[in-house]
Amino acid sequence: MTKTYKEKCTLMFLVAAVGSLFMFLTAAYWLDLSMLSGQSIIQFQTTKKVPYFPLDCLSWNETLTCPKNYPTTHKNIGHSAFKTCPDYFRWIHEDLARWRETGVTRDMVDGAKPSAHFRLIILDGKAYVEKFRKSIQTRDLFTLWGFQQLLRRYPGRIPDLELMFDCNDRPVIKKNRFRGPDPRPPPLFKYCSDHGSLDIVSPDWSFWGWPETNQKPWEITLKELKEGNKRVKWMDRLPYAYWKGNPDVSPIRVDLKKCNVNYTSNVDWNTRLFFQNWTNESTNGFKGSNMKDQCTYRYKIYVEGWAWSVSEKYILACDSPTLYITPHYYTFFARGLTPLKHFWPIRDNDKCRSLKFAVEWGNNHTSKAQEMGEASSRFIQEDVKMEYVYDYMLHLLTEYAKLLKFKPTVPPNAVELCSESLACPADEKFRSFMMESLVQQPTDTLPCTMPSPYDPSTLKDIVDNKTRAIKQVEMWENEFWKNQNLK
Ligand SMILES: *[C@@H]1O[C@H](CO)[C@@H](O)[C@H](O)[C@H]1NC(C)=O
Ligand SMILES: *[C@@H]1O[C@H](CO)[C@@H](O)[C@H](O)[C@H]1NC(C)=O
Ligand SMILES: *[C@@H]1O[C@H](CO)[C@@H](O)[C@H](O)[C@H]1NC(C)=O
Ligand SMILES: *[C@@H]1O[C@H](CO)[C@@H](O)[C@H](O)[C@H]1NC(C)=O
Ligand SMILES: *[C@@H]1O[C@H](CO)[C@@H](O)[C@H](O)[C@H]1NC(C)=O
Ligand SMILES: *[C@@H]1O[C@H](CO)[C@@H](O)[C@H](O)[C@H]1NC(C)=O
């Protein structure tokens, strides 16, 4: 009896000791955490698993050679579960469909050279670039930086390939030039495409920052937008449609000017448009262009520029319904958007009346409008977060590489790419943007799993459903304006 009693006592003592030790550790853990800044918390939790690889500009400046210590394989140390990528990834299959039967030959790749700014080569997990011409601003630099960060995130996971990249705005590989029995269209990677073109869409440079306009890297901007949204509740936002930008880049924007309040006469189309002069703005560092300060109106207008507009993702993340003027171009994620769920469609040929109706409808149906604003923010925050931007690139390149009919090689005039070769010699301002979007270590989680292609009938359903929703809004508009004219 006594023995058991003694045993029980010892056990209880042990339990208590272990318990208090545990409590002490927990307390220490939290104390530690609370003393660390946001960045260090991540460090605290992961240093034991994957080491950091900061840039080594000192050694680059001396030797002009890329470091050799970066890991060459990627492991699922975080034991992440398989998760399927967002649905818009399925369009990767559609973008590459033209080459499914024939594959991609070296001739086809070289055929894209006349409009390409550079050829990217990936061989044994390393990247090389052959430059053909300079892009405007730092588009080419930040695009290459993006590919380089992808390699750092997923070392050893990107297959050997060669691809041509064009940093200009508009798609150039027109479908109708490649009909007939042996069309051999060149695969060309770009930031946007349209329904008459075969250009393959890839994320634009601004995901890693756009220093010329002071747009921070996407990961930082996303957080700022989330914080910014809390500042003014939707109901307290100004009940008008807001747009700010440079109007003189395309006819559709010039035309949008006419919809501004009091532009022609004292008509209020329920819009508040602010025209920026980029010459002026660039002299003051685009200080008035911070996206997180632009979520103070109940509605935001999206209008294309010379092609797609980089502003698309910022506008959709405002918690205010996006009044999306019928676009001509699409970006890699835009095909995941559904009219009336994620945005309100606006006619491109009767913009002012269409905008006025949309705002009035939203102000009459405030909970539906709020829901729409939140749905697009959620889409951007969750489905277009930086992890998925990288996963999209990973899957796009993987699917593309499967089509290659030749063994990629490094041309004699190509140079090896590494983060050091891009950042160390760069202008100080550009380098600071790169530091903020540097992938510091391989991820310890798996990429999302690529969904299967759409079957043709589902694809048709999706397109039909979108068309139907847009027609529905147009009918409501027609009805509304017919009644207005009767008064
Ligand atoms: C490397 O060289 C660049 C100029 O080429 C300079 O701006 C940078 O500060 C140097 N970095 C280091 C760490 O020495
Ligand atoms: C539009 O013009 C009217 C009449 O002059 C004026 O009362 C109103 O404040 C103007 N609206 C704006 C937003 O400037
Ligand atoms: C550009 O700057 C000039 C001179 O500072 C000023 O008069 C003009 O209004 C500005 N234009 C815009 C669109 O801001
Ligand atoms: C923009 O501002 C610059 C300098 O202030 C001026 O020369 C130019 O004419 C302006 N452009 C427009 C379209 O107002
Ligand atoms: C909004 O509500 C007002 C008042 O009920 C109505 O007169 C107007 O037609 C409505 N407008 C729209 C676009 O729903
Ligand atoms: C199209 O819309 C119908 C009716 O709203 C819906 O049942 C169907 O699931 C939609 N199809 C797709 C592919 O979204």
Residues with CB under 6 A from ligand 5: 357, 360-361, 364, 480
- The model's pTM: 0.88
Q: What is the pLDDT of residue 276?
A: 85
95-121 in b/e form (b: 16+ CB < 10 A) is: bbebbeeeebeeebbebbeebbbbbbb
- Return d(Cα 74, Cα 238) in angstroms, integer: 48
Rounded to the nearest angstrom, the gap between the alpha carbon of residue 349 and the centroid of all alpha carbons in its chain is 28
276 C-alpha to center of ligand 4: Å?
10
Query: How many alpha carbons lie under 13 Å from residue 78 in its C-beta half-sphere?
Result: 14
Residue with the nearest Cα to atom 6 of ligand 3? 280
Q: Where are the domains of the chain?
A: 57-210+400-460, 213-385+467-486
For residue 10, the 8-state DSSP code is: H
Please give the CATH number for the structural domain made up of 213-385+467-486: 3.40.50
Dmax over CA atoms of the chain, in Å, equals: 100
Q: What is the mean pLDDT of each run of 10 residues along the chain (487 residues)?
A: 48 48 40 35 50 92 93 80 94 97 96 97 97 95 98 96 98 94 93 98 97 94 94 96 93 95 88 86 67 85 96 96 98 98 97 97 98 98 98 98 98 96 96 97 94 96 97 97 79
Q: Which ligand is nearest to the CA of 244?
A: 3
For the chain, the residue count is 487
Q: What is the pLDDT of residue 279?
A: 76
Burial class (CB in 10 A: 0-12, 13-18, 19+), 261: middle
Q: Of 74, 128, 125, 141, whose CA–CA distance to 446 is shortest?
A: 74
Q: Looking at ligand 5, which atom is closest to the CA of residue 363?
A: 1
Q: What is the pLDDT of residue 80?
A: 75
Residue with the nearest Cα to atom 12 of ligand 3? 277
Beta strand segments in 140-212, E: 161-165, 189-190, 193-194, 200-201
Q: Which ligand is nearest to the CA of 240?
A: 2
Q: What is the pLDDT of residue 283?
A: 72
270-281 in b/e form (b: 16+ CB < 10 A) is: bbbbeeeeeeeb
Q: Work out the number of other CB atoms within 10 angstroms of the CB of residue 254.
A: 11
Q: What is the pLDDT of residue 39?
A: 38
Beta strand segments in 222-351, E: 238-245, 271-275, 297-302, 322-325, 329-330, 344-346
Query: How many alpha carbons lie under 13 Å from residue 104 in its C-beta half-sphere?
Result: 24
Cβ–Cβ under 8 Å, residues 383 and 89 = no
Residues with CB under 6 A from ligand 2: 261-262, 266
Q: Which ligand is nearest to the CA of 457?
A: 6
Q: What is the pLDDT of residue 277?
A: 79
266 C-alpha to center of ligand 2: Å?
7
54 C-alpha to center of ligand 1: Å?
15
- Return d(Cα 335, Cα 462) in angstroms, integer: 10
Q: Give the helix/strand (H/E) hosting 367.
A: helix 366-378
